Amino acid sequence: MSSEALTHPAEPAKHASAGDNYLTNGFSLKSWLLTLDHKRIGILYLISVSVFFVIGGLAASLIRLELITPAGDVLSHETYNKMFTVHGVVMVFFFLVPSIPAVLGNFLIPLMIGARDLAFPRLNLLSWYIYIVGGLFTLTVALTGGIDTGWTFYTPYSSMFSNTYVAMAAVGVFITGFSSILTGLNFIVTIHKMRAPGLTWFRLPLFVWAHYATSLIMILGTPVLASTVALVAVERVFHIGVFDPALGGDPILFQHLFWFYSHPAVYIMILPAMGVISELISTFSRRPIFGYHFIAFSSIAIAAIGFLVWGHHLFVSGQSPYAGLVFSFITFLVAVPSAIKTFNWTATLYKSSISWDTPMIYAMGFMGLFLIGGLTGLYLAAIAIDIHVTDTYFVVAHFHYIMVGGAVMGYLGGMHYWWPKITGRMYPEGWAKISAVLIFAGFNLTFFPQFIVGYWGMPRRYHTYAAEFQVLNVMSTAGASVLGFAYAFPVFYFLWSLKYGKKAPSNPWGATGLEWQTPSPPPTTNFDEVPVVTEEPYHYPMLEPERV
Amino acid sequence: MSSQALDLHDAHGHDAHGSHAHQFDDPIQQRDSATLGMWAFLATEVLFFGALFVMYAVFRYRYPVMWDLGSHMLDWKLGCLNTFILLFSSLTMALAVQSAQLGKTKRLNICLILTLVMAFGFLVVKTFEYHHKYEESVIPGRYFQVPPHAIEKYEERYGTIKAPTAEMEPVPQAETVYDPMGPYGPGPVMKDGHVEETVARRRCSRDSLTTTESSSSSSRSISR
Ligand code: HEM
Ligand SMILES: [Cu+2]
């Protein structure tokens, strides 16, 4: 963010040997699989999370297909149970958790802070391999018979009764956990120690702040999940009573331990998306972000308070009602920092000159959907309402509004925004706009009816349902079909753009931020000279006459 | 510090920095990063074992008698010996690090060898301890058995063992209105408004073995 670069945001940085970038630095398979370059590792992650997204998506289509009719006619109930488990496990642990951090975070954090790489490139590559090994375990389970416990692995069903490959799936989740621990550890050290001269904490892009908060959760929460699923496997394999009451164990202990990770984990999924949105909103409204410090600290607040609310998943489990009261109260509190962000984004937009490029459509979509998801979270935080709608489609709709409407929209918005930087090519704007709008529409058609049907009392995780719920379920399946097609578009036009897309300049959006000051795609060492930062972040002119 | 050591060899053909990896500006930045990384790693370990500590606390709270009996089945001499071995090996390891920093190779080697010897010594002691337990079938899981001397100890301390009595069993199901909080809550709300303490709760909060002295109050009123 040197002042000189700011006055000419679109001026491509001079690069000694143009065309020499991280993509052209070796073409062999080995140069990819043994790379220590954070940008290439980001691409490895991009390919692998996309594969898992497709797998999770296929499972989801089967679920929605089954739910067109009230009777269980497409899948047997065993298969149905396996489908929603594969869907949940794959989407949560193998797509959403690594999506933004391991793809965009990996690629961008060193660029954004003016570093040559992450602090520990080998650990970074190791994290990808660990992820792949964990993924292979899980895929093996899925292909050889599946697992039917739901992504929550509740005991004692999972540890003592389920006749599926629970232990192996637990091993898969256990292993993958370490990949996100390594990513988080790497980010924390990098952000602390490797910032360019002049890049103080309060000049960091909010994307980096969000990833810092995410990393804290990753390194402090994930280990607990790892030991919890390990205990499930131990109980299952060796019959050591930990969670099964018949063996003297405590099933509620499992729920406490599981949600101690898995509630914070929902913030692992949404915080990076919030970081993306902060960047998009300010770039496309050509405004310095409103309330920078509030947004930065609200990320940290979310990470901290997020560790204290897990009991809201146990309102009906047999947890002490006094604990329930406290958890309910803290759950209301955790919504405050999210609201702070939303208000600040809105204030940034106020009277700004908004341009509706594709990333901005995603950002706006995110704001609307996250708002609904967050507000319904407050409904669920109120114990009395939660007892009514717990384990219904209302909860399903709540978290899909946040995880799909929020996190996936943020991921796609970020992918479009940084695609020119990553590949050096522009994507086709027209197609991208169409698919963004379709995704928004399809999403709402899929999940809004689920709020209603859940409020009416349709329970989740059954392959049959009462006939009066059919209309809403058909709407939902129709929406899911639109959504499925709309998600396929970007795969095609992104691939198309690799060959036919317009060549991207180094700063196609006229954005601030160090990553835009190096050529697209960046050279292997990121910057030819160590950048020196002399300006505040998001130093957009209040009114800029024209985009370049 | 393995990560530091690994990244040290990240030469990448840049001649400008022989002593540190290419992503760092200088050895100091590299060292600071490795130190912070190590602390972060330790934090993850604390949380990893944290779950196990929570489990320990829950079961210790729930089965105090079992814990008491278990403690009598340990060999305090072997335990002391192993504690000593562990502490002493920490000392030799710390001395090894210091020797490395001072460049005293010979002392470094001696210290490392001592540490390794003690690591094996620890395992040897454990083998004796565990072998004994294994023979008594005091092993976690399916094949666990309570050895006779533990039962004697129990009766000596808590009185004769009695099977759980029938009076513990009846659950006043028919009269419950609704019990949203499940078996561990204060219990179902009875039609007359008082709160029933459930059997499940009573059983879980005591050991499943009951003693002659133990009396069981069948219900407890909580004023609302
Ligand atoms: C605005 C703050 C939020 C509040 C107050 C909130 C509140 C809640 C509550 C009380 C539940 C429990 C409902 C039940 O099981 O009966 C719940 C479930 C859930 N929430 Fe949220 N939530 C919030 C944000 C999020 C975010 C950001 C995510 C994900 C990115 C998320 C994902 C989930 C998931 C996955 C579940 C259900 C898990 C399951 O049972 O399978 N929530 N939420
Ligand atoms: Cu939660």
Query: Chain-centre distance of CA A295, in angstroms?
Result: 18
Residue A150's SS3 state is coil
A516 in Cβ contact with A421 (< 8 Å): yes
Tell me the domains of chain A and their CATH numbers: 37-536 (1.20.210.10)
Question: d(Cα A104, Cα A106) in Å, to the nearest integer?
Answer: 5
Q: Does B157 touch chain A (CB under 8 A)?
A: no
B9 in Cβ contact with B43 (< 8 Å): no
Q: Which residues of B touch A190 (CB under 8 A)?
A: 33
pLDDT band at A291 (very low <50, low <70, confident <90, very high): very high
Question: d(Cα A70, Cα A457) in Å, to the nearest integer?
Answer: 14
Q: What is the CA(B224)–ligand 2 centre distance, in A?
A: 30
Question: Is the predicted pLDDT of residue B68 greater than 80, yes or no?
Answer: yes
Q: Does A223 touch chain B (CB under 8 A)?
A: yes
Q: Does B24 touch chain A (CB under 8 A)?
A: yes
pLDDT digit string, tens, across residues A32-47: 999 999 999 999 999 9
pLDDT band at B193 (very low <50, low <70, confident <90, very high): low
pLDDT band at A319 (very low <50, low <70, confident <90, very high): confident
A73 in Cβ contact with A132 (< 8 Å): no
Relative to the CA of A407, which ligand 1 atom is closest? 30
Question: Is the predicted pLDDT of residue A547 greater than 80, yes or no?
Answer: no
| Residue B49 CB neighbour total at 10 angstroms | 14
Q: Does B22 touch chain A (CB under 8 A)?
A: yes
Residue with tokens 């009598």: B72
Two structure tokens written together for A127: 């994290």
Question: d(Cα B193, Cα B177) in Å, to the nearest integer?
Answer: 10
What's the confidence (pLDDT) of residue A125?
A: 97
Lowest mean pLDDT among A255-259, A324-328, A346-350, B199-203: B199-203
Residue A239 to residue B25, Cβ atoms within 8 A: no
Higher pLDDT, B176 or A130: A130
Is the CB of A446 within 6 Å of ligand 1?
Answer: no
Task: Say which amino acid occupies A378.
Answer: L
What's the confidence (pLDDT) of residue A113?
A: 95
Q: Which residues of A touch B36 (CB under 8 A)?
A: 188-189, 192-193
Q: Which helix (H) or strand (E) holds B211?
A: strand B210-211
Contacts of A370 by beta carbon, 8 Å cutoff, 6+ apart: A270, A338, A342, A401, A402, A405, A406
What's the confidence (pLDDT) of residue B10?
A: 41
What's the confidence (pLDDT) of residue B169?
A: 55
Contacts of A241 by beta carbon, 8 Å cutoff, 6+ apart: A235, A247, A248, A249
Residue with tokens 């967050």: A374
A276 in Cβ contact with A207 (< 8 Å): yes
What's the confidence (pLDDT) of residue B191?
A: 59
Q: Does B222 touch chain A (CB under 8 A)?
A: no
Q: What percent of chain B has pLDDT over 90?
A: 40
Q: Quick one: A25 exposed, middle or buried, by C-beta within 10 A (0-12, 13-18, 19+)?
A: middle
Lowest mean pLDDT among A151-155, A302-306, A462-466, A536-540: A536-540
A223 in Cβ contact with B48 (< 8 Å): yes
Q: Does B87 touch chain A (CB under 8 A)?
A: no
Task: Give the residues across from B161 on adjacent strands.
Answer: B211
Is the CB of A219 within 6 Å of ligand 1?
Answer: no
CA-closest candidate to residue A53, choices A106, A109, A97, A101: A97
Two structure tokens written together for A409: 């929209």
Of all ligands present, the nearest one to the C-alpha of A309 is 2
Atom 5 of ligand 1, residue of closest alpha carbon: A377
Of A238, A248, A319, the CB nearest to B208: A248
Mean pLDDT of A301-313: 96
pLDDT digit string, tens, across residues A68-116: 999 988 999 899 999 999 999 999 999 999 999 999 999 999 999 999 9
Two structure tokens written together for A162: 């389920």
Is the CB of A506 within 6 Å of ligand 1?
Answer: no
pLDDT band at B150 (very low <50, low <70, confident <90, very high): confident
Mean pLDDT of A133-140: 94
A439 in Cβ contact with A447 (< 8 Å): no
Q: What is the CA(A309)–ligand 2 centre distance, in A?
A: 7
What's the confidence (pLDDT) of residue B182?
A: 47
B192 in Cβ contact with B179 (< 8 Å): no
Residue A494's SS3 state is helix
Contacts of A522 by beta carbon, 8 Å cutoff, 6+ apart: A21, A22, A39, A111, A421, A515
Q: What percent of chain A has pLDDT over 70?
A: 95
Q: Which residues of B touch A185 (CB under 8 A)?
A: 37, 40-41, 44
Number of residues written out for chain B: 224
A residues 258-317 closer than 8 Å to B (CB): 260, 316-317
Is the CB of A396 within 6 Å of ligand 1?
Answer: no
Q: Which residues of B touch A231 (CB under 8 A)?
A: 51-52, 55
Question: Is the predicted pLDDT of residue A19 greater than 70, yes or no?
Answer: no
Q: For residue A181, what is the nearest residue in chain B, using CA coordinates?
A: B44
Q: What is the CA(A259)–ligand 1 centre distance, in A?
A: 11
Question: Is the predicted pLDDT of residue B215 greater than 50, yes or no?
Answer: no
A residues 483-542 closer than 8 Å to B (CB): 525, 530
pLDDT digit string, tens, across residues A325-380: 999 999 999 999 999 999 999 999 998 889 999 999 999 999 999 999 999 999 99
| Number of alpha carbons in the 13 Å side-chain half-sphere of residue A303 | 22
pLDDT band at B206 (very low <50, low <70, confident <90, very high): very low
Lowest mean pLDDT among A182-186, A288-292, B148-152, B188-192: B188-192
CA-closest candidate to residue B182, choices A272, A207, A317, A12: A317
Number of residues written out for chain A: 548
Question: d(Cα A128, Cα A41) in Å, to the nearest integer?
Answer: 7
Two structure tokens written together for A98: 């690594």
Cα angle A299, A300, A306; round to 5: 90
Question: Is the predicted pLDDT of residue B14 greater than 50, yes or no?
Answer: no
A274 in Cβ contact with A499 (< 8 Å): no
| Number of alpha carbons in the 13 Å side-chain half-sphere of residue A22 | 29
What are residue B189's phi and psi, to 5 degrees? -85, 125
Phi-psi region of A132 (alpha: psi -120 to 50; beta: other; left: phi over 0): alpha
SS3 letters across B105-126: HHHHHHHHHHHHHHHHHHHHHH
What's the confidence (pLDDT) of residue B158?
A: 84
Contacts of A332 by beta carbon, 8 Å cutoff, 6+ apart: A378, A381
CA distance B57 to chain A (A): 11
Residue A115 to residue B63, Cβ atoms within 8 A: no
Q: Kindly report the average pLDDT of chain A as a whole number.
A: 91
Residue B37 to residue A221, Cβ atoms within 8 A: no
pLDDT band at B209 (very low <50, low <70, confident <90, very high): very low
Task: Say which amino acid occupies A85.
Answer: T
pLDDT digit string, tens, across residues A142-168: 888 889 999 999 988 998 888 889 999
What's the confidence (pLDDT) of residue A280?
A: 96
Of A119, A231, A319, the CB nearest to B33: A119
In this complex, how many residue pairs, one in chain A and one in chain B, have their CB atoms less than 8 Å apart? 124
pLDDT band at A3 (very low <50, low <70, confident <90, very high): very low
Question: d(Cα A421, Cα B207) in Å, to the nearest integer?
Answer: 63
Mean pLDDT of A222-230: 95
What's the confidence (pLDDT) of residue A16?
A: 42
Of all ligands present, the nearest one to the C-alpha of A261 is 2
Q: Kindly report the average pLDDT of chain B as a whole number.
A: 75
CA-closest candidate to residue A206, choices A291, A117, A267, A319: A291
Relative to the CA of A381, which ligand 1 atom is closest? 10
Q: Quick one: A34 exposed, middle or buried, by C-beta within 10 A (0-12, 13-18, 19+)?
A: exposed
Of all ligands present, the nearest one to the C-alpha of A460 is 1
CA distance B197 to chain A (A): 13
Contacts of A546 by beta carbon, 8 Å cutoff, 6+ apart: none
What's the confidence (pLDDT) of residue A11?
A: 40
Torsion on CA atoms B50, B53, B59, B61, rounded to nearest 10: -100
Two structure tokens written together for B217: 């109050």
Question: d(Cα A211, Cα B3) in Å, to the nearest integer?
Answer: 21
What's the confidence (pLDDT) of residue A548?
A: 41
Lowest mean pLDDT among A133-137, A248-252, B80-84: A248-252
Cα angle A365, A367, A371; round to 5: 120
Cα angle A252, A255, A257; round to 5: 110
Lowest mean pLDDT among A256-260, A288-292, A421-425, B216-220: B216-220
- Domain residue spans of chain B: 2-154, 171-224
Two structure tokens written together for B156: 């000596």
Of B7, B52, B186, the CB nearest to A122: B7
Two structure tokens written together for B185: 């809550």
Higher pLDDT, A368 or A545: A368
Task: Give the residues across from B53 on adjacent strands.
Answer: none
Relative to the CA of A152, which ligand 1 atom is closest? 41
What distances in angstroms separate CA B116 from CA A53, B93, B105, one per listed residue?
Answer: 47, 9, 16
Question: Is the predicted pLDDT of residue B6 greater than 60, yes or no?
Answer: no
Lowest mean pLDDT among A6-15, A522-531, B81-90: A6-15
pLDDT digit string, tens, across residues A484-505: 999 999 999 999 999 999 999 9
pLDDT band at A458 (very low <50, low <70, confident <90, very high): very high
Two structure tokens written together for A428: 């086709």
Question: Is the predicted pLDDT of residue B79 greater than 70, yes or no?
Answer: yes
Q: Does A321 touch chain B (CB under 8 A)?
A: yes
